[in-house]
C-alpha cells in the first residue's frame, strides 16, 4: 500500500502487513510528523471455477422448466492467501519529541550582546573624558586624575593678602583675590585656579576651585580673580594657588 504524510505530502510504498489488520501509528522520516494509519481494505479475488461445480450438464439444463425458479448456484469465492510479512524500514535518526520543528529561529547570543554593550559604554566614557578636557573643565579633569595637557602653563599667578572678616551672624568670611597674567607672545587659555589651605605642618585642610572670568588671554594681558568662603577650618595657616592640573606653589 502507499502511505502519504498529511503534513508534508511525502509518499511511501510499504507492504500491507507492515500496517496490520488493526492499523498502527507511523511517522514521516522527512518532517517527523506522526499519524494513525488505518489498515488497507480487503479485496476479494475470484478463484477458478471447477468444471464440476460451475459447468452444468446439458441434460440437466434441458430438464429444467422455463418457469422454474431453480438456478445454478455459483461457487463461493475464497480469500486470497496471506502476503509475506515484510518488516518496515526503521528510521536511523533517533526521535526527539522536544526538538524544534523547522523552520525555527536560533537562540540569541546573550554574551555577544553584552560584549557590544560594554564596548559602546566604553566609547561613551572616552568621549565624555575628551569633552571634559577639550571643552573647558580642566579642574574637574585634574580632580579625576586625568591629564590635561602640558604640565606647566606660561601664565603667572599673583595673589593678594588673605582677608578674614567676621560677619554679624557670627560666621567668618575667608576672601581670596589675585591676578592672572600672560607674559608670553601668544594667546593662552586660562584654566581653572585651584586654591588650597594647609595647616602649620603643610597638610591640606581645605580646598576649592576658582573659575576665571575669561578663558583666553591675549599676549601681555591680565585678569583679576576673587573668591570667598565661609567658615573655613581655623587651623588653616597657608594659602597655595595653582592652575588645575599643575602642582601647587
Domains, the chain, in order of start with CATH, read: 1-39+80-104 (no CATH), 156-243 (2.60.40.10)
- In Å, what is the CA distance from 77 to each residue of 39, 47, 49? 22, 6, 9
Confidence band (pLDDT; 50, 70, 90) for 134?
A: low
pLDDT in tens, 87-126: 555 555 665 655 556 555 666 777 888 898 999 999 998 8
> If you search the block for the grid coordinates 573659575, which residue do you land on?
211
Q: What is the pLDDT of residue 212?
A: 92
Least confident of 4-18, 69-83, 172-186: 69-83
Overall residue count recorded for the chain in this entry: 249
Q: Which of 203, 199, 209, 204 is nearest to 242 (CA)?
A: 209
**Read out DSSP for 81-96?**
PPPPP-PPPPPSSPP-
Give the cell for residue 61: 439444463
pLDDT in tens, 37-58: 888 776 655 554 444 444 444 4
> If you search the block for the grid coordinates 595637557, which residue do you land on?
149
Q: What is the pLDDT of residue 216?
A: 93
Give the pTM.
Answer: 0.39
Rounded distance, CA 196 to CA 206, Å? 6
Q: What is the pLDDT of residue 191?
A: 93
Give the cell for residue 198: 594647609
Amino acid at each position: 500500500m502507499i502511505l502519504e504524510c498529511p503534513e508534508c505530502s511525502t509518499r511511501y510504498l510499504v507492504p500491507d502487513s507492515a500496517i496490520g489488520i488493526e492499523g498502527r501509528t507511523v511517522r514521516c522520516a522527512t518532517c517527523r510528523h506522526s499519524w494513525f494509519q488505518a489498515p488497507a481494505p480487503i479485496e476479494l479475488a475470484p478463484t477458478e471455477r471447477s468444471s464440476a461445480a460451475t459447468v452444468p450438464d446439458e441434460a440437466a439444463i434441458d430438464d429444467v422448466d422455463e418457469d422454474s425458479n431453480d438456478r445454478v448456484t455459483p461457487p463461493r469465492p475464497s480469500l486470497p492467501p496471506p502476503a509475506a510479512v515484510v518488516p518496515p524500514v526503521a528510521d536511523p535518526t533517533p526521535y526527539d519529541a522536544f526538538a524544534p520543528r523547522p523552520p525555527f529561529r536560533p537562540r540569541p547570543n546573550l554574551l555577544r550582546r553584552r560584549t557590544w554593550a560594554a564596548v559602546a559604554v566604553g566609547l561613551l566614557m572616552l568621549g565624555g573624558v575628551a569633552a571634559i578636557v577639550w571643552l573647558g573643565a580642566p579642574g574637574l579633569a585634574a580632580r579625576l586624575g586625568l591629564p590635561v595637557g602640558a604640565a606647566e602653563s606660561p601664565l603667572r599667578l599673583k595673589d593678594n593678602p588673605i582677608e578674614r572678616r567676621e560677619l554679624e551672624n557670627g560666621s567668618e568670611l575667608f576672601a581670596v583675590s589675585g591676578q592672572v597674567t600672560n607674559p608670553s607672545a601668544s594667546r593662552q587659555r586660562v584654566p581653572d585656579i585651584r586654591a588650597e589651605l594647609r595647616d602649620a605642618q603643610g597638610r591640606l585642610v581645605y580646598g576649592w576651585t576658582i573659575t576665571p572670568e575669561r578663558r583666553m588671554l591675549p599676549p601681555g594681558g591680565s585678569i583679576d580673580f576673587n573668591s570667598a568662603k565661609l567658615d573655613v577650618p581655623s587651623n588653616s595657616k597657608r594659602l597655595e594657588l595653582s592652575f588645575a592640573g599643575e602642582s601647587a606653589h
